[in-house]
Structures are given as structure tokens and as C-alpha cells.
Amino acid sequence: MPEPVRPRPAGAPGARGKARKRALDVLFEADVRGVDPVRLLADRIAAADPPVPEYAVTLVEGVAAHRGRLDQLIAEHAVDWTLDRMPAVDRNVLRLGGYELLYAADMPDAVAIAEAVRLATELSTDASPAFVNGLLGKLLSLKPSLAL
């Protein structure tokens, strides 16, 4: 008899949520250490401990490929914050969420924003979820007119 499928508890991350967290770990570490995230990702894949999900690879490579434009948009629309002053976690959550929002065609906008807010809630300051939500919401409102 097959084992019954158990639904995920509300708020628990699924496979993509876990991949996002792994991608954020790589992006954060690369940012703090001042190294190339794709090279760091390759090191993590080679070590395979813990394994790097394929979607995490897609996210890290996507953020790295579009980082210049993502950073420009984040800097232009972050009220009273420069990229350098932002907590490193917030900066990388915004890059990740911005990538999914603006470049990942298969990702619903609401999911991209909600997942970024979830990461900020779990990993950053009490003010971070509202900051991430507001900035990504602004990018969403501008999305049709943005040159990407």
C-alpha cells in the first residue's frame, strides 16, 4: 500500500523554497566574502555537502547574470537606503526576489514577492519583511515599463 501524501504545513517551504534558501546562502556568502557567486556555487556543487538543488543553481546563475541591473533597480527604488547600507541578507533577498519577479517567466509575481518576504521574515530584522515587500511591490508596479 503506498504511503499517503501528507500536505505541507502552512508556511513550510517546499522544494523550491528550500532551493531559494540554499541560493540565498550562496549569494549572501559570496557578497560578504567579496567573491564571485558562480565560482562559490561551483565549489558548493563540487563539495555536494549539502547537495545544491538545480533550482538553486538557476537562481544563483540568474542573479549573477543580471546583478548589475538588479542592483541598479534596487538602489533607485530603495527609499533612504543605499545598497552598501542595507543588511547583506536584505540586499541578497532583494536580488533573489527581483530576479524571480523580473526574469523568471515561469514564476508568478505574487509567489516571487511572497517567497522573498518569507526569507526576510526568517532571516533578517523585524523591519525587513515590510522593506522587501515594499521595494519588490514597487518593482512589480514598474515591471511593464522597465527595460531589462
Q: What is the dihedral of CA 117, 70, 105, 53, to 10 degrees?
A: -70
Boundaries of domain holding 23 = 15-142
Q: How far apart are CA 56 and CA 67, in angstroms?
A: 16
Rounded CA separation 29/104 (Å): 23
pLDDT digits (tens, 9 = 90+) for 94-146: 999 999 999 999 999 999 999 999 999 999 999 999 999 999 999 999 999 99
**115 in a domain, yes or no?**
yes
For the chain, what is the domain count?
Answer: 1
- In this prediction, residue 50 has a pLDDT band, given cuts at 50, 70 and 90, of confident
Rounded CA-CA distance 59/57 in Å is 5
Query: Cell 508596479 belongs to which residue?
Result: 141
- CATH number of the domain encompassing residue 99: 1.10.940.10
**6 in a domain, yes or no?**
no
pLDDT at 100: 98
* pLDDT tens column, 53-68: 999 999 999 999 999 9
Q: Is residue 5 part of a domain?
A: no
